[in-house]
Structure 1
Amino acid sequence: MSAETTASTTRTARPQEPGKARATIGAIVLVVLVIGGGFFSNAQWSKFPDIFTEGGRYFYLMLRGIVQNPFSEPYSEYWVQAFNGMLESISMAWIGTMIGAAISIPMGFLAARNVSHPALVQVTRVILNAIRTLPELIFAIILLLPIFGFGPNAGALALGIGAVGTLGKLTAEALEGIDPGPVEAARAAGAPRSAILRWTYWSQVLPEVLAFWLYRFEINIRASAILGVIGAGGIGSVLSQAFRYREWDFIGILLFVIIVVTVVVDSVSGAVRHRIIAGTGKTDKDIDTEPVGL
């Protein structure tokens, strides 16, 4: 066999397939962990078939409330309470988002490595990490309900504090990813530090940060329904009372309102976030194919 034939055979030979032992062992370990978790959870698996029997019955009871005439009694009152509770949840989510956004701005600057001193950055990041580890439910139960009592005030503040950890971290990461050119130009021109932070740092990250705020607002709407279960206001409080008295037709109306309003808010917020980031009349494809410069 000639040297050219040997070289051609070497170039066209298929590479050896990687071993599948590691992936197989990982899948087996994952299955064992899932089965073990289900076994040690003390769940009554014998009642699992009830999902297809009792679950269908409850679904029918909830659906019955949705299809009834909304202007007849007592369903007209049910719909009014559902929309009032959802409006309160949206208000809680909005106020909580505004509180979290206002506090996260200075926290984000303090946590950005290209803005603050390293020691200050570490302290701020520890605070933000500590806030993110605690869910809004814990803030409401331990800190806010004893002070403000039951109602939407405690819920809105819990959502606001919970939003600080996430929004502060995202703001710091956005600040660390800015273009340093405008910053260096402003410093060379002798601009004061406050002007540099305002016109070179903040102006670059503002569209991205606004998108973060809108996304957090979507999350807070869902979280407000959960906080209402413990008495922190919103539609969750109404849902908790309806479940206590087993008013399944009322529960169906409440769940229907929660789902519809949440989907509508998510759609509108997503469109606004796309408009902020992409700009007017531009799609993601337009942005990807747009020439960078001349």
Structure 2
Amino acid sequence: MSAAGLPAARPPAPSKLPATLAFVAVAAVVVVCAVALRADWPALLGLPERIVTYTRLLTEGFWANPFADPQREWWTVAFDFMFDSLSIAWIGTLIGALLSVPFGFAAARNVAPAWLVWISRTILNVIRAIPEFILAIVFLLPLFGFHPAAGAIALGVGSIGTLGKLTSEALEDLQPGPVEALRAAGASGLSVLRWGMLPQVMPEIVSFWLYRFEVNIRAGAILGMLGLGGIGFLFDQLFNGREWARAGIALLVTVVVTIVVDQLSAAVRHRIIGREQFSHRDVF
């Protein structure tokens, strides 16, 4: 109510002009990008037919007896190559896990001096900026040739960049209480790292490792198409030979194995993180 007893005037509604201009700008960018792609957009009309056709071709091998020749050999080969992909991803993850821990400590502001933090973070940024297939083609193929070792090392180096960054962030977010208690008791710097910091962040770091393993399985399939082994190499051979039935079996094996690994990894991560939270409630 105003001083004269009359109802107060409603404030003016906020202008919708900024939101409208932003929407128009975004729409204009989308249109410009669509034109710049120079794609054959009318070909989208035939997309449903192509989906049906290739789905039929890829699923032809599903309905045959898997224990009869040659289907039995197709399934066996697909699982063998998928096991190679898991091995490449696992070795790459181990390389990244082992080397990312010292990089993570060196990149944490509450652990290392400023000059070391800057150097470590710059190295990690450079590693993350280079895709794994570039590492494989430019640096590793000249050394190892078309060998799965090149793919595993490329995945390992790529994992260092991501895992090192996540490790440093976990260290910077840890509880300061145990660290201050150890320093007050006169513990050495190495003891503080070993007993005050590492136990706090190790469950989270292990969950990062498991997640990176899942990522490396998918990235390893791409590297395999360069000739570095694994299920990606099999896909390259089958698609080039237009062996759609065998490609469908290999695709099904890849999807099933990836889902199983994802579910197992998620369960382990949930258990690790849940146990960590429970222990923190007990302590604090």
Q: Tell me the distance in 2 between the aligned counterparts of 1:153 and 1:15.
A: 69
Alignment match, 1:23: 19
Q: Tell me the distance in 1 between the aligned counterparts of 2:281 and 2:100.
A: 34
The correspondence for 1:192, drawn from 175, 183, 188, is 188
The correspondence for 1:90, drawn from 81, 86, 89, is 86
Q: Tell me the distance in 1 between the aligned counterparts of 2:178 and 2:45.
A: 64
Q: Tell me the distance in 2 between the aligned counterparts of 1:230 and 1:75.
A: 26
- Once the two structures are superposed, what CA deviation does each residue of 1:113-164 show, in whole Å capped at 9, x if it has no partner? 0111101101110110011111111111111111111121111111000000
Q: Tell me the distance in 2 between the aligned counterparts of 1:109 and 1:229.
A: 35
Alignment match, 2:251: 255
In the superposition, the TM-score normalised over structure 2's length comes to: 0.92
Alignment match, 2:265: 269
Q: Tell me the distance in 1 between the aligned counterparts of 2:273 and 2:218.
A: 24
SS at match of 1:48: helix
Structure 1 residue 85: Cα displacement: 0.8
Correspondence list, 1:110-259, <5 A: 110-259=106-255
Gaps of 5+ in 1: none
Structure 1 residue 22: Cα displacement: 2.5
Structure 1 residue 3: Cα displacement: 5.3
Structure 1 residue 17: Cα displacement: 4.9
Alignment match, 1:78: 74
Letter in 2 for 1:275: R
State percent identity of aligned pairs.
51
Q: Tell me the distance in 1 between the aligned counterparts of 2:4 and 2:257.
A: 70
Structure 1 residue 216: Cα displacement: 0.5
Structure 1 residue 19: Cα displacement: 3.4
The correspondence for 1:60, drawn from 51, 56, 61, is 56
Q: Tell me the distance in 1 between the aligned counterparts of 2:2 and 2:215.
A: 68
Structure 1 residue 28: Cα displacement: 2.1
Q: Tell me the distance in 1 between the aligned counterparts of 2:152 and 2:12.
A: 58
SS at match of 1:121: helix
Structure 1 residue 73: Cα displacement: 2.2
- Once the two structures are superposed, what CA deviation does each residue of 1:90-111 show, in whole Å capped at 9, x if it has no partner? 1111111110010000000100
Return closer, same or farther for 1:90/1:2 CA change in 2, 3 Å cut-off.
closer
Q: Tell me the distance in 2 between the aligned counterparts of 1:179 and 1:164.
A: 25
**Count of aligned pairs:** 283
Structure 1 residue 34: Cα displacement: 2.0
